[in-house]
Copies of this chain bind each other. A is one copy, B any other.
Amino acid sequence: MRHKQFGSKFVVKLEKGEEVISSLTKFCEDNQIFLGYLSGIGAVNKATIGSYELSTKTYHWKDFSGSLEVTSLVGNITFLDNKPFIHVHINISDENLTIFGGHLREATVGVTLEIFIEKIDGRIIRKMDNEIGLNLLDLND
């Protein structure tokens, strides 16, 4: 992983073999990015993607592998358990250019991944919402 910083903007390049979520989490820790949003494109060769079922409060996960273009990686950085937390959703294409996507648990970079992060000075904490079963943005005053 390599990066360059331009004020509040970070250009990040993940390299073949790197895992996306853990790399981004470590990057935000190292660079003290506690709040922000990001978008990225590139290609992965493995991804575990989920869909959340509210009635059972469980994610259903599915594994993908192959030449997978990342047509969009969109999400945010907030604060959970005293460290930056990456929440991203992904769209990937298979060889027929059909798109699959959902909540990203993990993915391995296959070619490259180019991510632009917009850092916001501030903090938003996630808090368990018992009705929903997930750690949601805590925007109460």
Binding site for B on A (CB under 8 A): 2-4, 6, 9, 11, 13, 16, 35, 37, 39-41, 43, 45, 49-54, 60, 62, 67, 69-72, 74-76, 87-91, 93-103, 110-112, 114, 116, 118, 120-122, 124, 129, 131-132, 134, 136-137, 139-140
Contact = CB atoms under 8 A, between A and B. Distances in A.
B74 A71 contact: yes
14 contacts: A11-B35, A11-B76, A50-B69, A54-B111, A71-B74, A72-B89, A76-B114, A76-B116, A93-B101, A97-B100, A97-B102, A98-B98, A99-B99, A112-B137
Given A69-B102, A70-B89, A49 B97 contact: yes
Given A89-B69, A91-B72, A114-B87, A97 B51 contact: yes
Contacts of A97: 49, 51, 62, 100-102
Contact of A89 (B71, B89, B118, B134): B71
